[in-house]
Amino acid sequence: MLNFLLRRLAAGLVTLFVALFLMYLLVEASIDPLADLIESTAPNKAELIAQRTEQLNLDVNPVIRFFWWLGALFTGDLGVAWKSGQAVSAQLTNAIGSTIELVSAATVLSLLVGVAVGIVSALRQYSAFDYVIIFFSFLLYSLPSFWVAVLLKQWGAIGFNDFLRDPLIAWPVIIGLSLVVGLLWSLAIGGTATRRVQVFAIAAAANLALLAYVQLTGWWERPQIGPVLLALLGAGTAFAVAGVFAGLHNRRALYTGMTVVAIGVVAYFPMQVLFDQVTESHWLTAGLALVTVAVGYGVGRLFGGPDWRLSARTGAAVALVMGTLIFVDQVMQVWGPYFDALGGRPIPTFGDRTPNLGGNYWVQVLDSYTHLILPTATLVLIAFASYTRYARSSMLEVMNQDYVRTARAKGLPERLVIVRHGFRNALIPLATIVPIDVITLIGGAVITENVFGRPGMGQLFVRSLEQAEIEPVMAYLLVVAALAIIANIVADLVYAAIDPRIRLDA
Amino acid sequence: MSTPTTPQPSGQPEERLENAIELQDVAGLSQGQIVRRRFFRHKGAMVGLAVLALTALLALTSVGVGPVPGWWQWTPGQTGAVVNPGGSPTLSMPTWLGGEGFAIGDHPFGQDEIGRDIFARVMAGVQTSLMVMVIIGGVAAIIGVAVGATAGFFRGRTDTLLMRATDLVITVPTIVIGAVVGKMAGTVSGVVFALALGLILWTTLARLVRGEFLSLREREFVDAARVAGAGNMRIIFKHILPNAIGTLIVAVTLLMSSAILLETALSYLGFGIVPPEISLGQLINEYQQAFSTRPWLFWWPGLFIVIIALTINFIGDGLRDAFDPRQKRIPSERKMAKAAAADDAAARARVPSVRPDAGVGGGA
């Protein structure tokens, strides 16, 4: 294992070195730092050219310059972007955070939705739902992301901001939406005609009730979750998680979920006071999230029983959802002041923070979320399509295996066959694709950041390439290539960890 | 995912036995004929092929190719008087769609601020994109097959070396290398730009072909060919490659659809095709500022990118189904039920054993 890791790391370092060397020569060939001077009509043109050649060592062979750059890199010096005069390490530090926010939000969202939809689609192979999903994944796969991004900017941001000025959805639209949602649910769940009608009615009614609640309580002006909605949403989550992963007949798991929801609702009130008292930070939030998950796990452990791990996992999952809901509720509470501070147009189309906004931690979080919505949506739309397709084909493959037939033959309920034998094995190929796909998303962020003006790494790369500054471009390539190599090693490790047939020592 | 269509009018007795259909379908046919039949039966692929062919025809004939003039009255670079206020499109919908009666007019897609015809510009952009796409597909296929076949056939040190080279290219996202290469090659000409992109997009193909070769070279027919005295080149090109051609064609098709998105994205960023040549991505970049005042400048180029990429994806999907030997045409449950109901009770009794997806799809 360790041997494998060392071998891969060594090979990775060599790859990184050669890749950077080649890229240095390529970038060097494609940029021309003298372009503006050659076209200039200044009388001292020759002198200026000589001066800049001196400054950037353009008369030195690029191969030698690469080794100078590499030597400086080992001392931790990434160089200076000559046009702006900024240190590259400072530029990179600012940019990395923004890109990580974007890429991680997009990965998590598209993975959750894409895998869920893809698996349901595979379970309903050749049904109307399957065809609809296939068509949409094809469509999303064929969309140019920059085009979608500009569309979202114009319609999503400006349209939604206009909508917020007078937030009323027409009733026919609400009813139409509810019908569509009901139809989708009934297609996804399937079954006999009666069951489809039931599912359709329940889903449409629930959606109608939700939208009516939002409409009638003036939710858009004062969005909040509150204890009542928290209890409802939590109970729904508990039933869903326990129902899918443990089965509703497993009372311990269900009671674990419900207990966690009760704890969450009770904890909601002291948390309001606590959030006002302390100064929050991301570290505190992460710590609270860990505590929440631990509490959920502990509740499941206390319910005990022969299969306590299942209850514990259910508890942890429900606790995480409850914690997220309380967090979101807290963020929503600053919506009013935030809305006013931005003059009633809260969805921005540019940048990653509102400059000089001030406010406490929650305002800052809300501000970064509103800036994240549109770029994330763009990335998710495209990544979602590929994850759906991966998950669908992987699940189809697994469900045709002999061990699934065996599981059915020995009389396991279909839920167990799907969750334990199907779903888990379908995740194996996905787990190896995800780390590598993150690199694709970082590439996709180049376009998204450019359209939405987010000062991230992709933006840094594009700007610097345009400005003929080689140092920031090389710093970007260094980070991305190193990430790609690490991602590949991680993919191998994950594969070995979850699939016992793979042995790394061999 | 092939859409089930029955080859014969329903009600004939043989139709209910699914295996019989399959066997009857492929009896006495060569592999190529089977694949062609399956492909032509794939509705999505056929619609895609038709739409793509029409789009290509429209783009090629309307503004002409190179020195040959087309039938459209404007050329992409020609400026003229702005007809409608702001240059809005003269195309209007039929009355039943809420328009003012169907009309094409002088500038169906509208005009930009200096009076250039958007239809002509978009058609020129479609031409460029198709050209770039075909070149990228060709170059990537040639390099990918050469690298993959060499690595997979000779294995050992050659394989390690070539796969390390592939890893090198994969280390950096294609759009990033594309931007660097495009900044250099895009200013030269569209063809050079396409060739350069082809030089970086071959990696997935190479890995795929290598995998196919690694497994195919162990098969008996390769041994047989070698015993018969065939050389390496003959075995590679006459014996192994034809067996890997299905995977290859599908992969190249899907590569072309991502190539068109890459090309337009790079041109959008300004690292691709530069004026006076026209690309759809470059048009979007040029006109995105005018979105709120003249949205048509922005709609049409994007729409054509989507059309091209979508049709190619559908064609690729059809090809995949056609080449997949495991692919069986599974009639929908409704069709099976109808066929059963149309006939006597004996047929009805046989239905449960015929339903192939009873244990798989309808499970829960």
Give the pLDDT score at B146.
Answer: 93
Is the pLDDT at B354 greater than 70? The verdict is: no
Q: What is the mean pLDDT of chain A?
A: 86
Q: Which residues contact B36 (CB under 8 A, 6 or more apart)?
A: B322
Of A307-311, A375-379, B195-199, the range with the lowest mean pLDDT is A307-311
Give the pLDDT score at B348.
Answer: 52
Give the pLDDT score at A294.
Answer: 93
Q: Which residues contact B351 (CB under 8 A, 6 or more apart)?
A: B336, B337, B340
**Better pLDDT: B254 or B361:** B254
> Interhelix angle for A361-399 vs A424-452, to 10°?
140
Task: Pick B172's closest partner by Cβ from A19, A144, A405.
Answer: A19
Give the pLDDT score at A118.
Answer: 92
Q: What is the C-alpha to C-alpha distance for residues B221 and B227, in angstroms, rounded to an integer?
A: 10
B200 in contact with chain A, both atoms CB, cutoff 8 A: no
Of A42-56, A225-239, A288-302, B233-247, the range with the lowest mean pLDDT is A42-56
Q: Which residues contact A340 (CB under 8 A, 6 or more apart)?
A: none
Q: Which residue ranges make up each domain of chain B?
A: 32-75+86-323
Token duo for residue A432: 């190896």
- Predicted complex ipTM: 0.84
Give the pLDDT score at B137.
Answer: 93
Are B173 and A439 inside 8 Å of each other by CB? yes
Distance of CA A451 to the CA centre of its chain: 18
The rounded percent of chain B whose pLDDT value lies above 70 is 75
Are A123 and B170 inside 8 Å of each other by CB? no
| Chain B residues closer than 8 Å to A473 by CB | 180
Give the pLDDT score at A336.
Answer: 82
The rounded percent of chain B whose pLDDT value lies above 90 is 23
Q: Is the peptide bond before B276 cis (omega within 30 degrees of 0)?
A: yes
Q: Which of residues 150-179 of A touch B (CB under 8 A)?
A: 150-151, 154, 158
Q: What is the C-alpha to C-alpha distance for residues B293 and A158, in angstroms, rounded to an integer?
A: 14
Q: Which site among B5, B133, B160, B180 would you substitute to test the A interface, given the most A Cβ atoms closer than 10 Å to its Cβ?
A: B180
A97 in contact with chain B, both atoms CB, cutoff 8 A: no
Per-residue pLDDT tens for B283-335?
Answer: 888 887 777 777 777 888 889 999 999 999 899 888 888 887 665 555 566 66
Is the pLDDT at B227 greater than 90? The verdict is: yes
Average pLDDT of the residues in A52-76? 83
Are A125 and B357 inside 8 Å of each other by CB? yes
Per-residue pLDDT tens for A155-211?
Answer: 778 888 888 877 778 888 888 999 999 998 888 887 788 888 999 999 999 999 888
Q: Which residues contact A162 (CB under 8 A, 6 or more apart)?
A: none
Token duo for residue B361: 């799809």
Please tell me the distance in Å from A76's CA to the nearest CA on chain B.
Answer: 22
| Chain B residues closer than 8 Å to A126 by CB | 330, 332, 357, 361
Average pLDDT of the residues in B246-258? 88
The amino acid present at A118, given as its one-letter code, is G
Beta-carbon count within 10 A of B215 CB:
12
Kindly report the pTM of this predicted structure.
0.83
Instruction: Find out whether B130 and B59 touch, Cβ atoms under 8 Å.
Output: yes
Give the pLDDT score at B228.
Answer: 93
Please tell me the distance in Å from A410's CA to the nearest CA on chain B.
Answer: 14
| % helix, strand, coil for chain A, step of 5 | 80, 0, 20
Is the pLDDT at A126 greater than 90? The verdict is: no
Give the pLDDT score at B11.
Answer: 47
Average pLDDT of the residues in B94-104? 63
Is the pLDDT at A42 greater than 80? The verdict is: no
Q: Which of residues 345-364 of B touch A (CB under 8 A)?
A: 357, 359-364
Task: Pick A447's closest partner by Cβ from B177, B184, B265.
Answer: B265
Give the pLDDT score at A114.
Answer: 92
Give the pLDDT score at B6.
Answer: 44
Average pLDDT of the residues in A297-304? 87
CATH code reported for the domain at B32-75+86-323: 1.10.3720.10
The rounded percent of chain A whose pLDDT value lies above 70 is 99
| Chain A residues closer than 8 Å to B284 by CB | 144, 146-147, 150
Of A199-208, A330-339, B17-26, B161-170, the range with the lowest mean pLDDT is B17-26
Of A139-148, A348-357, B272-281, the range with the lowest mean pLDDT is A348-357
DSSP element (H, E) containing B200 = helix B190-200
Q: What is the C-alpha to C-alpha distance for residues A194 and A200, in angstroms, rounded to an integer?
A: 10
A141 in contact with chain B, both atoms CB, cutoff 8 A: yes
Is the pLDDT at A444 greater than 70? The verdict is: yes
| Chain B residues closer than 8 Å to A22 by CB | 168
Is the pLDDT at B23 greater than 70? The verdict is: no
Give the pLDDT score at B21.
Answer: 58
Q: Which residue has the tokens 């009018």?
A: B9
Q: What angle do CA A296, A300, A306 make, to 5 degrees?
A: 160
Give the pLDDT score at B364.
Answer: 35
**Better pLDDT: A285 or A356:** A285
Are A414 and B171 inside 8 Å of each other by CB? no
How far is the first Cα of chain A from the last one, in angstroms, to the nearest whole number?
Answer: 9
Q: What is the C-alpha to C-alpha distance for residues B168 and B214, in angstroms, rounded to an integer?
A: 21
Least Cα distance to A26 among A56, A1, A53, A63 occurs for A63
| Chain B residues closer than 8 Å to A447 by CB | 175, 265, 268-269
Per-residue pLDDT tens for B142-154?
Answer: 999 999 999 999 9
Average pLDDT of the residues in B197-203? 90
Least Cα distance to B63 among B142, B138, B128 occurs for B128
Q: Which of residues 61-90 of B touch A (CB under 8 A)?
A: none
At residue B285, the 3 state secondary structure works out as: helix
A127 in contact with chain B, both atoms CB, cutoff 8 A: yes
Give the pLDDT score at A435.
Answer: 80
Q: Which of residues 286-345 of B touch A (CB under 8 A)?
A: 288, 291-292, 298, 302, 305-306, 309-310, 313-314, 317, 330, 332
Of A313-322, B268-277, B309-318, the range with the lowest mean pLDDT is B268-277
Average pLDDT of the residues in A439-455? 87
The amino acid present at A444, given as its one-letter code, is G
Q: What is the mean pLDDT of chain B?
A: 79
Please tell me the distance in Å from A314's CA to the nearest CA on chain B.
Answer: 22
| Chain A residues closer than 8 Å to B174 by CB | 443
Q: Which residues contact A39 (CB under 8 A, 6 or more apart)?
A: none
Residues forming a β-bridge with A87 = A80
Residues forming a β-bridge with B117 = B111
Are B364 and A190 inside 8 Å of each other by CB? yes
| Chain A residues closer than 8 Å to B310 by CB | 138-139, 142
Are A147 and B330 inside 8 Å of each other by CB? no
**Better pLDDT: A147 or A276:** A147
Q: What is the pLDDT confidence band of residue B96, given thresholds at 50, 70 and 90?
A: low
A440 in contact with chain B, both atoms CB, cutoff 8 A: yes
Give the pLDDT score at A205.
Answer: 92
DSSP state of B15: G
Q: What is the C-alpha to C-alpha distance for residues B299 and B307, in angstroms, rounded to an integer?
A: 12
Is the pLDDT at B278 greater than 60? The verdict is: yes
**Better pLDDT: B291 or A241:** A241
Instruction: Find out whether A301 and A312 touch, Cβ atoms under 8 Å.
Output: yes
Alpha helix segments (H runs only) across A156-307: 160-165, 171-189, 193-216, 226-245, 251-277, 282-303
Q: What is the C-alpha to C-alpha distance for residues A292 and A298, in angstroms, rounded to an integer?
A: 10
Are B364 and A123 inside 8 Å of each other by CB? yes
Alpha helix segments (H runs only) across B201-324: 203-216, 220-227, 232-234, 241-269, 280-287, 296-323
